[in-house]
Amino acid sequence: MLDLIDTRQGTDNQHSYSNGNTLPYTGVPFGMNFFVPQTKNDQGSWFFNPRDRVFQGFRLTHQPSPWMGDFSHFLMTPVSGHFSNSDLFHYQSSYRPESAIFKPHYLQIKQWRYQITNELVPTTYGAIIRSHYQQDTLPGMFLHFPGLSEVSIDPQKQQVSGFLSNFSGCEDPEFKMYFMIQFNQPIDREQTGFFLTDGTFENAIDCQGEDKTLLLRFSLDHTKTLETKLATSFIHGGQAQLNLNRELVPYDFNQLKATSASQWEYYLNKIEVSHRDMSLIKTFYHCMYRLFLFPQKFYENNEAGEPMHYDTTSRQIKPGVMYTNNGFWDTYRSVYPLFSLIIPEEYEEMLQGFLNSYRETGYLPKWLSPDERGIMPGTLIDAVIADAANKGIGQALMPEFLEAMNRTATTQSSNSKYGRQGTEDYLKYGYIPSDHHESVNHTLDYAYSDFCISRVAQHLNQEELAHTYEKRAYHYLNLFDPETGFMRAKDKDGIFRENFKDTSWGLDYAEGSAWQSSFAVFHDIAGLIKAHGGKEVFRKKLADLCNQEPTFDVKGYGFEIHEMSEMAAVDFGQLALSNQPSFHLPYLFNYVDDPSSSQVLLKQLMTQLFDSSSTGYPGDEDNGSMSGWYIFSSMGFYPVCPGSGEYVLGIPLFDTVNIHLPNQKVVTIQTSHNEPQFNFVHQVTVNHQPYSKLFFTHELLKEGAEIQFDLGLVPEHQSYSNDERPFSLSEKRSTAPLNSVTKR
């Protein structure tokens, strides 16, 4: 599968327009560090573009999104020859993107200026770089450390060690990453040193301060090959040395390359797909690669093999696991539901890390990078917890998680980064008033989170608490305006905001307008349908969503944000699949007995908005969330409501899908008449029996199944019973009994 992946998919971006806003990460699944060839240093977070023909060095990076920024990053650039200063412009080199190799487990870059061929292979805590020099003139390597750093050179041990401190934001203003770098060739002490702030070169073996650049020189042997082994730690320098000794020192380049490849193949082989169009398969496996990048490990194993991590709040080393670089507003929708199917053990360990975050801050995390950044509405980790509880994952953690969910939902933090915004107002009014920013999205997300809390409480037999939160799950109705059919902001007197315009973005809505935000009632679409006045009215509303121009009003922002531009670039009306709030919208026709409209819409979205190129995503990919949408949708189902234990049906894209489950069972999905002109599902069979429901349960899939989709040229029209429609809270049709879920 690795041969099919070029990590540059979705990397052709700029501040004003996103084709994924991804970086071509080379790393191991969920690794602590990633590596990217840097091509520009004057565009901030956009430091790579696939059309650039300049290589500035290998960047060790922890950037989860350009909107979050990087932390604990530095640059390594092999060079040869004389240099008068440390300006990147003076030592960057051309390279050929078309002949470079960008793989999840392997990078190869040839610097044409220096005639140096570089290869990089990652490990969990570091990497090995092999640089073959053709020129003998002063072979060397620049190491650029932005921010504060302290660097020491040990020529006898052929090592460079120290720490650096640079980050977009952190609870610890002195947060550090330690590093240990080992070379296989002698360091030329007389030619090695640091460039000072005035541009002069100082021959020295240690330095500290801001924005330091080290130029190392080497005495190469007849092989002219420099091997650089590096490891990092967020614990201390001794741990960086331990990580180096454990992961890298005992192994050669080829062994490490094989190990990294096998780590990727293990995860990529969880799902196998077949189709005559190889470009579709390439797109699928690139999405699989993206799925297993985040969240990143933020813990390390001590000498006894016990996990430990750095707690940035108390500024102490703590026992246990920790994960970072994850925004739950994005990833709860698709990433964790996929993890629940194919890697539940890793999911459980991630949950342990998130629980440790709660223990250290007093609130469940919302956006970690490296610690709480406090952006985006809601506390959507509630959905990640509820989905796990419903599927038998992390059962021993659930009592403390319920305590954490309840506290986060009811206790207003004095620090706006933590917990819910406007908690007291939400409890008082049953909605977030309009004097709070993005009040509509906050209200709807809190109502969904309340549903999730009720599910966990029910799972733990806390019926009174379950009942309390289930009542709050209907708070979405408090902002519904039956006259317009939209969710609208209200002030504290219950008066809707005046001068309403349904295409106006921002202000009351997060990264969208009323069109993208008003359907975010994942747990009770049937209740939303009833509020609209019935299925026919709701179906027309969905049709209107799709069958109009993708116009927008910038009023709430005062300028055009990139999500507006991406919606306007494609003719899918107000659907705006370029952003996460729209992920479930194509599936909603199922709830009004019109699955055919979902099917044809989904097929067009998958085939027209995704491909395997550098512009291969319709908007920000965001830590695997958009990739997760594509993976689910291309298999023929999607988790509209995490926490319900159900996946709503769509239309498969592939001829055959084999999902290899952790219990050694297999879900096989086969599609007949899989041609471009067949845009509808004629019939479905499960285990050779006709299947009339518009959803699959997790329990059905977990036991393995043989599923057949027969596609048709024209849509089928029929009525569906309540038991055949997807879950909605107000319909009172329960999913699989929570307390009967098999314990894992």
Write out pLDDT tens, residues 628-680: 999 999 999 999 999 999 999 999 999 999 999 999 999 999 999 999 999 99
Helix (H, G, I), strand (E, B) or coil at 376: coil
In angstroms, the CA 664 to CA 469 distance is 37
Helix 625-635 / helix 278-291 crossing angle, nearest 10 deg: 130
**pLDDT over 80 (residue 150):** yes
pLDDT of residue 733: 55
Write out pLDDT tens, residues 115-138: 999 999 999 999 999 999 998 789
In angstroms, the CA 469 to CA 502 distance is 30
Write out pLDDT tens, residues 211-226: 999 999 999 999 999 9
Question: Environment class of residue 540 by beta-carbon count within 10 Å: exposed (0-12), middle (13-18) or buried (19+)?
Answer: middle
The model's confidence at residue 743, banded by pLDDT at 50, 70 and 90, is: very low
Helix (H, G, I), strand (E, B) or coil at 719: coil
The model's confidence at residue 20, banded by pLDDT at 50, 70 and 90, is: very high
Mean local confidence (pLDDT), 362-378: 96
**Residues 6 or more apart from 495 whose CB is under 8 A from it?**
none
| Residue linked to tokens 């579709």 | 280
Question: Environment class of residue 96 by beta-carbon count within 10 Å: exposed (0-12), middle (13-18) or buried (19+)?
Answer: exposed
Mean local confidence (pLDDT), 255-261: 98
**If you average pLDDT over every residue of the chain, what do you get?**
96
Distance (Å) of CA 494 to CA 378, 442, 491, 497, 514? 21, 16, 5, 9, 18
**DSSP-assigned beta bridge partners for residue 150:** 163, 208
In angstroms, the CA 272 to CA 666 distance is 11
**pLDDT over 60 (residue 736):** no
Count CA within 13 A, CB hemisphere, residue 367: 22
Question: Phi then psi for 102, rounded to 5 degrees?
Answer: -120, 100
Mean local confidence (pLDDT), 606-620: 98
386 closest CA partner among 400, 402, 374: 402
Distance (Å) of CA 324 to CA 309, 310, 353, 369, 740? 11, 12, 9, 6, 32
pLDDT of residue 197: 77
Write out pLDDT tens, residues 336-355: 999 999 999 999 999 999 99
Mean local confidence (pLDDT), 558-580: 97
Distance (Å) of CA 266 to CA 260, 271, 629, 677? 10, 10, 21, 35
pLDDT of residue 732: 65
Helix (H, G, I), strand (E, B) or coil at 79: strand
**pLDDT over 80 (residue 731):** yes
Cβ pair 123, 247 in contact under 8 A? yes
pLDDT of residue 742: 31
User: In which element (H, E) is residue 245 found?
Assistant: helix 237-247
Question: Phi then psi for 344, rounded to 5 degrees?
Answer: -65, -30
Count CA within 13 A, CB hemisphere, residue 204: 15
In the structure encoding, which two tokens stand for residue 55, read together?
């290589």
Write out pLDDT tens, residues 465-478: 999 999 999 999 99
Q: What is the DSSP string of 199-224?
A: S-EEE-SEEEEEEEEEEEEB---TT-
Question: Environment class of residue 498 by beta-carbon count within 10 Å: exposed (0-12), middle (13-18) or buried (19+)?
Answer: exposed
Q: How far is CA 413 from the centre of its chain?
A: 26
pLDDT of residue 358: 98
Overall residue count recorded for the chain in this entry: 744
Count CA within 13 A, CB hemisphere, residue 377: 27
Domains recognised in the chain with CATH numbers:
2-268 (2.70.98.10), 325-740 (3.30.2080.10)
672 closest CA partner among 688, 648, 658, 654: 654
pLDDT of residue 229: 98
**DSSP-assigned beta bridge partners for residue 54:** 94
| Residue linked to tokens 């199944």 | 705
309 closest CA partner among 260, 349, 362: 349
Mean local confidence (pLDDT), 402-431: 96
**pLDDT over 90 (residue 744):** no
Percentage of the chain surpassing pLDDT 90?
96
